[in-house]
Amino acid sequence: MFNQAIVRRPGKSLVNGITTAGLGQPDYQQALDQHDAYIDALQSCGLTVTVMHADEHYPDGMFVEDTALVMPGLAIVTRPGADSRRGETVSIKKQLAQFFDPVEIIEAPATVDAGDIMMVGRHFYIGLSERTNEAGAGQIIQHLNKHGYHGSTISIREGLHFKSSISYLENNHIVVTGELVDKPQLAEFNSVVIDSADACSANSVWINNRVLVPAGFATTSQAIAALGYEVIELDVSEFQKLDGGLSCLSLRF
Ligand code: CIR
Protein backbone atom coordinates (compact mmCIF):
# COMPACT_ATOMS: atom_id res chain seq x y z
CA MET A 1 0.00 0.00 0.00
CA PHE A 2 1.11 3.57 -0.64
CA ASN A 3 0.38 6.45 1.74
CA GLN A 4 2.19 9.42 0.23
CA ALA A 5 2.81 11.05 -3.12
CA ILE A 6 5.00 13.93 -4.22
CA VAL A 7 4.15 15.95 -7.33
CA ARG A 8 5.47 19.20 -8.80
CA ARG A 9 3.23 21.73 -10.52
CA PRO A 10 3.93 22.30 -14.21
CA GLY A 11 5.43 25.72 -14.99
CA LYS A 12 4.71 27.95 -17.98
CA SER A 13 8.09 26.82 -19.33
CA LEU A 14 6.62 23.37 -20.02
CA VAL A 15 6.25 24.47 -23.63
CA ASN A 16 10.04 24.07 -23.84
CA GLY A 17 10.07 20.52 -22.47
CA ILE A 18 11.96 17.78 -24.28
CA THR A 19 9.81 15.96 -26.79
CA THR A 20 9.87 13.49 -29.62
CA ALA A 21 6.08 13.01 -29.70
CA GLY A 22 5.25 15.34 -32.58
CA LEU A 23 1.86 16.10 -31.00
CA GLY A 24 2.29 19.87 -30.83
CA GLN A 25 2.95 22.24 -27.95
CA PRO A 26 1.25 21.62 -24.62
CA ASP A 27 -1.26 24.19 -23.38
CA TYR A 28 -0.30 25.54 -19.95
CA GLN A 29 -3.82 26.05 -18.58
CA GLN A 30 -4.98 22.66 -19.79
CA ALA A 31 -1.88 21.07 -18.26
CA LEU A 32 -2.73 22.70 -14.92
CA ASP A 33 -6.31 21.41 -15.11
CA GLN A 34 -5.10 17.89 -15.92
CA HIS A 35 -2.60 18.13 -13.08
CA ASP A 36 -5.39 19.17 -10.68
CA ALA A 37 -7.42 16.12 -11.71
CA TYR A 38 -4.33 13.92 -11.25
CA ILE A 39 -3.84 15.19 -7.70
CA ASP A 40 -7.54 14.60 -6.97
CA ALA A 41 -7.19 11.03 -8.23
CA LEU A 42 -4.15 10.36 -6.01
CA GLN A 43 -6.10 11.68 -3.04
CA SER A 44 -9.10 9.54 -3.90
CA CYS A 45 -6.77 6.52 -3.73
CA GLY A 46 -5.99 7.45 -0.13
CA LEU A 47 -2.66 9.26 -0.64
CA THR A 48 -1.51 12.39 1.13
CA VAL A 49 -0.11 14.52 -1.69
CA THR A 50 2.82 16.93 -1.24
CA VAL A 51 2.65 19.52 -4.01
CA MET A 52 5.95 21.21 -4.87
CA HIS A 53 5.92 24.60 -6.55
CA ALA A 54 6.65 24.85 -10.26
CA ASP A 55 10.24 25.74 -11.09
CA GLU A 56 10.41 27.64 -14.37
CA HIS A 57 14.08 26.73 -14.82
CA TYR A 58 13.04 23.14 -15.47
CA PRO A 59 10.48 22.70 -18.28
CA ASP A 60 10.24 18.95 -17.53
CA GLY A 61 10.21 19.40 -13.75
CA MET A 62 6.69 18.01 -13.25
CA PHE A 63 7.94 14.56 -14.31
CA VAL A 64 9.21 13.95 -10.77
CA GLU A 65 9.26 10.17 -11.15
CA ASP A 66 12.53 10.37 -13.06
CA THR A 67 14.40 12.17 -10.29
CA ALA A 68 14.23 9.57 -7.53
CA LEU A 69 13.58 5.93 -6.71
CA VAL A 70 11.61 5.50 -3.51
CA MET A 71 10.69 2.46 -1.44
CA PRO A 72 10.10 1.63 2.22
CA GLY A 73 13.12 2.88 4.18
CA LEU A 74 15.14 4.18 1.24
CA ALA A 75 15.19 6.97 -1.36
CA ILE A 76 17.80 7.20 -4.11
CA VAL A 77 18.08 10.54 -5.92
CA THR A 78 19.00 9.92 -9.55
CA ARG A 79 21.26 11.75 -11.99
CA PRO A 80 18.91 12.28 -14.95
CA GLY A 81 20.19 11.40 -18.39
CA ALA A 82 19.14 14.69 -20.01
CA ASP A 83 21.45 17.63 -19.15
CA SER A 84 18.53 20.05 -18.92
CA ARG A 85 16.92 17.92 -16.18
CA ARG A 86 19.89 17.34 -13.89
CA GLY A 87 19.20 20.31 -11.62
CA GLU A 88 15.69 19.07 -10.83
CA THR A 89 17.17 16.76 -8.23
CA VAL A 90 18.30 19.53 -5.85
CA SER A 91 14.81 20.40 -4.63
CA ILE A 92 13.66 16.76 -4.81
CA LYS A 93 16.48 15.69 -2.50
CA LYS A 94 15.43 18.32 0.08
CA GLN A 95 11.82 17.22 -0.17
CA LEU A 96 12.66 13.54 0.20
CA ALA A 97 14.80 14.21 3.27
CA GLN A 98 11.54 15.03 5.06
CA PHE A 99 10.31 11.48 4.49
CA PHE A 100 13.40 9.25 4.10
CA ASP A 101 16.60 8.41 5.89
CA PRO A 102 18.87 7.58 4.18
CA VAL A 103 18.60 9.52 0.92
CA GLU A 104 21.31 8.06 -1.33
CA ILE A 105 22.54 9.73 -4.53
CA ILE A 106 23.71 8.58 -7.96
CA GLU A 107 27.06 10.02 -8.99
CA ALA A 108 28.76 10.81 -12.35
CA PRO A 109 29.42 9.30 -14.81
CA ALA A 110 26.31 7.32 -14.04
CA THR A 111 22.95 8.47 -15.37
CA VAL A 112 19.55 7.19 -14.30
CA ASP A 113 15.97 8.25 -15.00
CA ALA A 114 13.77 6.38 -12.55
CA GLY A 115 11.12 6.13 -15.28
CA ASP A 116 13.37 3.26 -16.33
CA ILE A 117 12.86 1.39 -13.06
CA MET A 118 9.92 -0.84 -12.15
CA MET A 119 9.38 -1.98 -8.57
CA VAL A 120 8.06 -5.50 -8.01
CA GLY A 121 8.07 -6.09 -4.27
CA ARG A 122 11.72 -6.03 -3.23
CA HIS A 123 13.01 -6.48 -6.77
CA PHE A 124 13.65 -3.67 -9.26
CA TYR A 125 13.76 -4.14 -13.04
CA ILE A 126 16.06 -1.49 -14.52
CA GLY A 127 15.80 -0.62 -18.21
CA LEU A 128 19.08 0.32 -19.89
CA SER A 129 18.04 3.14 -22.21
CA GLU A 130 19.32 6.37 -23.71
CA ARG A 131 18.78 7.92 -20.26
CA THR A 132 19.95 5.14 -17.93
CA ASN A 133 23.43 3.70 -18.45
CA GLU A 134 25.21 0.59 -17.10
CA ALA A 135 27.03 2.64 -14.45
CA GLY A 136 23.69 4.05 -13.32
CA ALA A 137 22.09 0.64 -13.03
CA GLY A 138 25.20 -0.58 -11.17
CA GLN A 139 25.00 2.20 -8.58
CA ILE A 140 21.27 1.66 -8.13
CA ILE A 141 21.80 -2.06 -7.52
CA GLN A 142 24.58 -1.36 -5.00
CA HIS A 143 22.30 0.94 -3.01
CA LEU A 144 19.45 -1.56 -3.23
CA ASN A 145 21.63 -4.42 -2.01
CA LYS A 146 22.80 -2.42 1.03
CA HIS A 147 19.19 -2.09 2.11
CA GLY A 148 17.88 -5.61 1.47
CA TYR A 149 16.50 -5.01 -2.03
CA HIS A 150 17.76 -6.34 -5.37
CA GLY A 151 17.72 -5.39 -9.03
CA SER A 152 18.37 -6.66 -12.55
CA THR A 153 18.73 -4.99 -15.95
CA ILE A 154 16.88 -5.23 -19.25
CA SER A 155 18.15 -3.45 -22.37
CA ILE A 156 15.55 -1.48 -24.27
CA ARG A 157 15.56 0.16 -27.67
CA GLU A 158 11.98 1.41 -28.08
CA GLY A 159 10.29 4.28 -26.25
CA LEU A 160 11.75 6.88 -23.94
CA HIS A 161 11.80 4.82 -20.76
CA PHE A 162 11.34 1.20 -19.72
CA LYS A 163 8.05 2.10 -18.05
CA SER A 164 6.79 3.77 -21.23
CA SER A 165 6.07 0.16 -22.27
CA ILE A 166 5.28 -1.66 -19.04
CA SER A 167 3.56 -1.24 -15.67
CA TYR A 168 3.39 -3.57 -12.69
CA LEU A 169 -0.15 -3.81 -11.34
CA GLU A 170 0.69 -5.97 -8.29
CA ASN A 171 -0.58 -9.56 -7.81
CA ASN A 172 1.85 -10.67 -10.53
CA HIS A 173 0.01 -8.69 -13.26
CA ILE A 174 1.76 -6.50 -15.83
CA VAL A 175 0.50 -4.48 -18.76
CA VAL A 176 3.10 -4.60 -21.48
CA THR A 177 3.61 -3.60 -25.09
CA GLY A 178 6.11 -3.57 -27.96
CA GLU A 179 9.56 -5.08 -27.62
CA LEU A 180 8.96 -6.05 -23.96
CA VAL A 181 6.14 -8.48 -24.75
CA ASP A 182 8.45 -11.43 -25.38
CA LYS A 183 11.30 -10.64 -22.99
CA PRO A 184 12.26 -13.87 -21.21
CA GLN A 185 13.05 -11.90 -18.01
CA LEU A 186 9.35 -10.98 -17.80
CA ALA A 187 7.92 -14.42 -18.58
CA GLU A 188 6.93 -15.10 -14.95
CA PHE A 189 4.24 -12.40 -15.02
CA ASN A 190 0.61 -12.60 -16.05
CA SER A 191 0.76 -10.23 -19.02
CA VAL A 192 -1.99 -8.01 -20.36
CA VAL A 193 -0.59 -7.30 -23.82
CA ILE A 194 -1.36 -3.85 -25.19
CA ASP A 195 -1.62 -3.35 -28.95
CA SER A 196 0.99 -0.98 -30.35
CA ALA A 197 -1.80 1.45 -31.37
CA ASP A 198 -2.63 1.81 -27.65
CA ALA A 199 1.00 1.77 -26.46
CA CYS A 200 0.56 4.91 -24.30
CA SER A 201 -1.76 3.00 -22.00
CA ALA A 202 1.00 0.58 -21.02
CA ASN A 203 1.97 3.41 -18.69
CA SER A 204 -0.76 2.91 -16.09
CA VAL A 205 -0.37 3.21 -12.32
CA TRP A 206 -1.49 0.83 -9.56
CA ILE A 207 -2.34 2.63 -6.34
CA ASN A 208 -3.95 0.70 -3.50
CA ASN A 209 -6.01 -1.61 -5.72
CA ARG A 210 -7.11 1.12 -8.08
CA VAL A 211 -5.38 1.71 -11.39
CA LEU A 212 -4.95 5.05 -13.12
CA VAL A 213 -5.23 4.58 -16.89
CA PRO A 214 -4.81 7.32 -19.51
CA ALA A 215 -8.14 8.37 -21.03
CA GLY A 216 -8.96 7.16 -24.53
CA PHE A 217 -7.87 3.52 -24.26
CA ALA A 218 -11.08 1.63 -23.58
CA THR A 219 -9.61 -1.79 -24.40
CA THR A 220 -6.86 -1.33 -21.82
CA SER A 221 -9.30 -0.03 -19.20
CA GLN A 222 -11.57 -3.03 -19.74
CA ALA A 223 -8.68 -5.50 -19.53
CA ILE A 224 -7.47 -3.96 -16.27
CA ALA A 225 -10.99 -3.86 -14.82
CA ALA A 226 -11.30 -7.56 -15.68
CA LEU A 227 -8.36 -8.21 -13.34
CA GLY A 228 -10.56 -6.92 -10.52
CA TYR A 229 -9.25 -3.37 -10.21
CA GLU A 230 -11.22 -0.17 -10.08
CA VAL A 231 -10.05 1.91 -13.04
CA ILE A 232 -9.69 5.70 -12.92
CA GLU A 233 -9.29 7.24 -16.37
CA LEU A 234 -7.37 10.50 -16.57
CA ASP A 235 -6.70 12.81 -19.49
CA VAL A 236 -2.97 13.51 -19.68
CA SER A 237 -2.87 14.75 -23.28
CA GLU A 238 -0.72 17.79 -22.46
CA PHE A 239 1.94 15.64 -20.79
CA GLN A 240 1.84 13.06 -23.59
CA LYS A 241 2.92 15.91 -25.88
CA LEU A 242 6.18 15.87 -23.88
CA ASP A 243 6.60 12.07 -23.97
CA GLY A 244 5.26 11.89 -20.40
CA GLY A 245 2.48 9.82 -18.93
CA LEU A 246 0.73 9.00 -15.68
CA SER A 247 3.53 7.40 -13.71
CA CYS A 248 6.02 10.19 -14.50
CA LEU A 249 3.92 12.77 -12.69
CA SER A 250 4.41 11.47 -9.14
CA LEU A 251 6.59 9.68 -6.64
CA ARG A 252 4.48 7.23 -4.64
CA PHE A 253 5.43 5.56 -1.38
C1 CIR B 1 11.78 13.93 -20.86
O2 CIR B 1 12.10 13.76 -22.05
O3 CIR B 1 12.57 13.72 -19.94
C4 CIR B 1 10.40 14.44 -20.55
N5 CIR B 1 9.96 15.28 -21.62
C6 CIR B 1 9.44 13.30 -20.35
C7 CIR B 1 9.73 12.48 -19.13
C8 CIR B 1 8.72 11.40 -18.93
N9 CIR B 1 9.03 10.63 -17.79
C10 CIR B 1 8.75 9.33 -17.66
O11 CIR B 1 8.32 8.69 -18.61
N12 CIR B 1 9.06 8.74 -16.50
| pLDDT tens string 197-212 | 999 999 999 999 999 9
Pick from 112, 107, 158: which is nearest to 133 by CA? Answer: 112
Confidence of residue 181 (pLDDT cuts 50, 70, 90): very high
Which ligand 1 atom sits closest to the C-alpha of 82?
Answer: 3
Q: How far apart are CA 117 and CA 114, in angstroms?
A: 5
Mean pLDDT, residues 102-114 taken together = 98
Whichever domain contains 90, its CATH number is: 3.75.10.10
Q: How far apart are CA 172 and CA 22, in angstroms?
A: 34
pTM (predicted TM-score): 0.97
Q: What DSSP letter does each residue of 209-236 carry, written as one string?
A: TEEEEETT-HHHHHHHHTTTPEEEEE--
Q: How far apart are CA 199 and CA 194, in angstroms?
A: 6
Residue type, 193: V
- Pick the catalytic residue: 45, 161, 173, 200? 161
Mutate to test the pocket of ligand 1, among 131, 158, 160, 212 (most ligand atoms within 8 A of CB): 160
**Whose CA is closest to atom 7 on ligand 1?**
244
DSSP one-letter code for 7? E
Does residue 161 have an active-site annotation?
yes
- Measure 114 CA to ligand 1 centroid, in angstroms: 10
Domain limits for position 236: 4-252
Mean pLDDT, residues 9-38 taken together = 98
- Measure 17 CA to ligand 1 centroid, in angstroms: 9
Domain count for the chain: 1
Amino acid 221: pLDDT = 98
- Measure 171 CA to ligand 1 centroid, in angstroms: 27
Confidence of residue 184 (pLDDT cuts 50, 70, 90): very high
